[in-house]
Amino acid sequence: MKPRVVVTGMGAVSPLGLDVPSLWQGIVEARSAVGRITQFDPTEFSCQIAAEVKDFDPTNYMDRKEARRNSRFVQFAVAATKEALRSADFTITDANADDVGVIIGSGIGGMENFSSQFRVMESKGPDRVSPFLIPMMIVDMAGGFVAIEIGARGPNFCPVSACATAGNAIGEAMHIIQRGEAKVILAGGTEAAITEIGIAAFGSARALSTRNDDPATASRPFDADRDGFVMGEGAGVLVLEDYEHAVARGATILAELVGYGVSTDAYHVTMPAEGGVGAVKAMRMALRMATMQPHELHYLNAHGTSTPVNDRTETQAIKTVFGDYAPQLAISSTKSQFGHTLGAGGALEAIVCIKAMQEGLIPATINYTTPDPECDLNYTPNTPQPATLTSAMSNSFGFGGHNVSLLFRRFED
């Protein structure tokens, strides 16, 4: 028997709020966090909307000097990590630091820093480029700086698998704990890609919604009138812990991570494989690891980006995996509320899954008004639904054909 891996703490920075309680309150209220972009003037852009993190002050979480030297995506990761540690009531000391790891990924990293410093080089010359550009830009710096900030000396690396990043971070952290290479791992993802070049690039790929006149309804997964995803930003971090270690220190266990499925479509750089064959493999792998039958799953937090092809193929994949049970399975996409946070999505949505089990509430897919004949499952339209939940799956699929499914179970001793 492999060691059990449990969740003992959670931290979040999201467009719905700067901590887990605020994130969950937004879910309960079925509130949209999408609005007109304020971080730059979007007037000339085809997409002028996003789900931004508001009122975030990095100096509430880190030294002012370090805040200036770190990118927004790193700042988010530090904030989420410190909340997660408080939530877990866990203190890192010299005695336990070697057993504490940090695996926090990012899909894009410090895109804004690269853009701004490139403009500096063009206008003022190469000698004026910031010496902090490289550590501000590279995607591994979130996990690296978090480890420095909290003093964790265990396994530390940064998965990068586009929108599957945080899911991979959490799943690989589970494997590391099961191999006995760490007792505790801070795992998740972070992203801050609401930048001029980010919006321009995704806009040019025609991936973003252009419902600029009504931002709050722009993210509409599985709806027939969906026209693209809405960019979000934020960070999510889970404290994953060896079960016996958690019990020995008297930790409050929030949930158990029982399944992790990972696959690759090997099909296209941006499009999912028709029929969702990679997603099928990931979901089946997670169920198999959890020794669960499909009909035993109570809730599925879908990847559900609000793009025409993704939502259709994910629906096809769900039907393949769950068969006759698929129409009864409670499904929702919380991206309808806080947008697509790219490399942070898997962690924020894992937190939503755990809160859903704790609170007995299925989150809604808001903005669902026009049924799509090709997306004909129960997406929990518009209003959260009370339910007794003992299991929840979170899907994360990324450009490049990356697929991750995480499966959590309500903790039972």
| pLDDT (average), residues 267-283 | 93
Q: Check pLDDT > 80 for residue 413.
A: no
Region 250-275: mean pLDDT is: 94
Average pLDDT of the segment spanning 219-226: 98
Q: What is the pLDDT of residue 196?
A: 96
CA distances from 67 to 11, 27, 229 (A): 19, 30, 30
* 202-217: pLDDT as tens digits: 999 999 999 999 999 9
DSSP label of 115: H
Query: pLDDT tens digit string along 380-390?
Result: 999 999 999 99
Residue 404 confidence (pLDDT) = 98
CA–CA gap between residue 4 and residue 1 (Å, rounded): 9
Q: Which residues are catalytic?
A: 163, 303, 340
Range 5-248 has CATH code 2.40.440.10: no
- Specify the pLDDT at position 315: 98
At residue 212, what is the residue type?
N
pLDDT confidence band for 82 (50 / 70 / 90): very high
Residues whose CB falls within 8 Å of the CB of residue 110, separated by 6 or more in sequence, listed in order: 71, 72, 73, 74, 136, 137, 138, 139, 141
Grade residue 39 by pLDDT with cuts at 50, 70 and 90: very high
Q: 395 by DSSP, 3-state: which?
A: strand
d(CA 236, CA 81): 8
CATH 3.40.47.10 holds for 263-409? yes
Instruction: Give pTM, 2 decimals.
Output: 0.97
| Residue in 9, 10, 39 with CA at minimum distance from that of residue 23 | 10
Give residue 412's pLDDT. 83
pLDDT score of 111 more than 90: no
Q: State pLDDT tens for residues 146-203.
A: 999 999 999 999 999 999 999 999 999 999 999 999 999 999 999 999 999 999 999 9
Buried b (16+ CB within 10 A) or exposed e, 40-72: eebeebbbbbbbbbeebebeebbeeebbebbbb
If we measure between CA atoms, which residue out of 347, 154, 152, 123 comes closest to residue 235? Answer: 347
Query: Residue 270: its pLDDT value, please?
Result: 86
What is the pLDDT averaged over residues 135-149?
95
Is a pLDDT exceeding 90 seen at residue 278?
A: yes
> Residue 261: is its pLDDT beyond 90?
yes
pLDDT for residue 274 = 87
Instruction: Give the per-residue pLDDT at 1.
Output: 81
The yes-or-no verdict on residue 32 having pLDDT over 80 is yes
CB neighbours of 18 closer than 8 A, spacing ≥ 6?
A: 53, 55, 56, 79
CATH 3.40.47.10 segments of the chain: 5-248, 263-409
pLDDT tens, position by position, 307-350: 999 999 999 999 999 999 999 999 999 999 999 999 999 999 99
Q: In this predicted structure, what is the pLDDT of residue 87?
A: 98
Query: Residue 301 to residues 16, 181, 239, 378: CA-CA distances in angstroms?
Result: 17, 30, 20, 12
Per-residue pLDDT band at 23 (split at 50, 70, 90)? very high
Mean pLDDT (the chain) is 97
